[in-house]
Amino acid sequence: MSELHDVFARAKSENRAALIGYLPAGFPTRQGAVECLLAMIDGGVDIVEIGLPYSDPVMDGPTIQQAVEISLSGGTKIPDVIDTVREVAATGAPVLVMSYWNPIERFGVDRFASELVAAGGVGVITPDLTPEEAKAWIATTDTHHADRVFLVALSSTNERIATVSSVTTGFVYAGAVMGVTGVRANLSDEVKNLVARVRPHTDLPVAVGLGVSTPEQAHDIAQYADGVIVGSAFVSAINSGGAAAARVLAQQLSAGLRRD
């Protein structure tokens, strides 16, 4: 069983959803990212999602785009991402990388999966890779025992959800909004329906992300999803108050994840 399975099972036994926190490697600096991620874990993040900075982040909103630009301008490369995974995974928290497909393909599919797992990473979220184009990735992740997380969206048909679920391991990532990432004041009521539409197609946990930023939103989502994914809000907190602010936000979000 994946380490992710254990975390989701523990959260369920505690009558809550798991908290998944995202931050790009190299933001605000290489070591600063490690410090912030450790603070997030200390504050209650169960699973860490480390972003691999990419120059054409089609799904990322302005907050994460700015963080990625800072990371790239600081010279962050894939080996730096792997090193960040290694340092954070040493805490015992499961660590995923979120990456667009192009950097993985250019680095070498087998090499990337091999180095990630050797560093203690448990898997990869690939937001722009479709199941139809993922044959090599599926084979490679199977070989290296790495989880592969694909996304479903509000616009996904039930047939599409079935296809995505059939090749996903770890958990299914359900996008709470149409469009790019970023803090939202309100999340669509259709998110609950999306999670419900995923359930018949897989026994995997379903985690909701894209736009989640407040303890109130996290609490609402925790009533029907297995995990809550937060990214832009952590970046904003770090911009305003560094690692200490990231820890406080994690504490606040974590407190909101208990089910009624």
Q: Reduce the DSSP state of residue 42 to 3 states and report it.
A: helix
What per-residue confidence (pLDDT) applies to 181?
43
Find the domain containing 96 and state its range: 3-255
What local confidence, expressed as pLDDT, does residue 157 receive? 96
Q: Is residue 260 part of a domain?
A: no
Structure tokens at 65: 């785009």
Write down the H helix ranges in 100-229. Answer: 101-107, 109-118, 135-144, 158-167, 190-198, 215-222
pLDDT digits (tens, 9 = 90+) for 194-245: 999 999 999 999 999 877 888 999 999 999 999 999 999 999 999 999 999 9
Write down the pTM of the prediction. Answer: 0.93
Where residue 236 sits, what CATH number does that domain have? 3.20.20.70
pLDDT at 45: 98
Task: Write down the pLDDT at residue 223.
Answer: 95
Q: Is residue 206 domain-resident?
A: yes
pLDDT of residue 185: 43
**Options 46, 49, 80, 87, the catalytic residue:** 49
What per-residue confidence (pLDDT) applies to 80? 98
226 is catalytic: no
Q: Is residue 54 part of a domain?
A: yes
Assign 260 to helix, strand or coil. Answer: coil
Measured between alpha carbons, how far is 133 from 197 in angstroms, rounded to an integer?
24
What confidence score (pLDDT) does residue 26 get?
Answer: 98
Contact in structure between 36 and 83 (CB atoms under 8 Å): no
Extract the tokens encoding 146. 């790495």
pLDDT value for 184: 40
The residue from 3, 46, 60, 115 that is catalytic is 60
Distance CA 231, CA 229 (A): 7
Which residues of the chain carry a pLDDT beneath 50? 178-185
**Residue 14, number of CB atoms within 10 A of its CB:** 12
Token pair listed for 188? 């669509």
pLDDT, residue 212, reads 85
Number of domains in the chain: 1
Tell me, yes or no, if 105 is annotated catalytic: no
Q: Which residues contact 36 (CB under 8 A, 6 or more apart)?
A: 23, 28, 234, 238, 242, 243, 246
Closest CA to 226 of 5, 2, 12, 1: 12
Residue 107 resides in a domain: yes
Sequence-distant (6+) residues with CB within 8 A of 113 are: 124, 140, 141, 143, 144, 146
| Helix, strand or coil, per DSSP, at residue 20 | strand
Say if CB 206 and CB 8 are below 8 A apart.
no
Side chain identity, residue 86: R
